[in-house]
Amino acid sequence: MFSPLIEDLIRALRCLPGVGPKSAQRMAMYLLEKDRDAAGTLARTLEQAVEKVGRCSQCRTLTEQDVCALCNNSRRERQSMCVVETPADVLAIEQAGNYHGRYFVLHGHLSPIDGVGPDSLGIDLLEQHLAGGELRELIIATNPTVEGEATAQFIAERAAERGVAVSRIAHGVPIGGELEYIDGGTLAHAFNSRTAFSTGT
């Protein structure tokens, strides 16, 4: 119904996560009718980002520099490294603001069914960090899913081989959460991982 180029644009916009045919149409109309400057900026920025953004050579997070700002920051503690699945996880932890070490981004989790093995997660680079002698603790913050746990286990073994202490972030009832609305799996985990208040002696 629209002209070919507009149809192409609507189709291209559907590659965005959470954007269906109606939203894509609305976005195309908005960009072409109301905000061509912003549309031009978006096109150019997207092209540049696709071309230039790669991975940090130390922590594998997304960046257009060779070494990302976090790895380059001399005030970060170099003896601890936190392993996460995605660059967005780095952001979430940074926003929490109480971790001051380095990161290592896997870009996924072990998933043999999808052909994701240690190679695609950069485990060799992680092993170099483990062998470097600088690391005292590896904190594993992969997601608490089946694959995330398997990945955590795999990495923990690698770290243990190299004699680096490994920890896993705690999982349980979220702060501010109400027990009533927490799923059974999380509750069961919270019971199993309970910490002592007092020894009762």
Each residue 25-54 as x (binds its own copies by CB under 8 A) or -, in order, gives xxxxxxxxx-xx-xxxxxxxxxxxxx-xx-
β-pairing, 80-84 vs 62-63, is unpaired
Q: Least separation, in Å, of the C-beta of 199 and its own copies?
A: 42
Number of residues near its own copies (by CB under 8 A): 55
Query: How far apart are the two ends of the chain, measured CA to CA in Å?
Result: 79
Per DSSP, which regions of the chain are E strands?
54-55, 62-63, 80-84, 102-105, 137-140, 165-168
Is there binding between residue 2 and its own copies (CB under 8 A)? yes
Is there binding between residue 6 and its own copies (CB under 8 A)? yes
Inter-residue contact 95 to 140 (CB < 8 Å) = no
Inter-residue contact 147 to 113 (CB < 8 Å) = no
Pick the stretch among 89-97, 139-147, 153-161, 182-190 that binds its own copies (CB under 8 A).
89-97
Q: Site residues (CB under 8 A) for its own copies?
A: 1-6, 8-9, 12-13, 15-18, 23, 25-33, 35-36, 38-50, 52-53, 62-65, 68-69, 86-88, 90-91, 94-95, 107
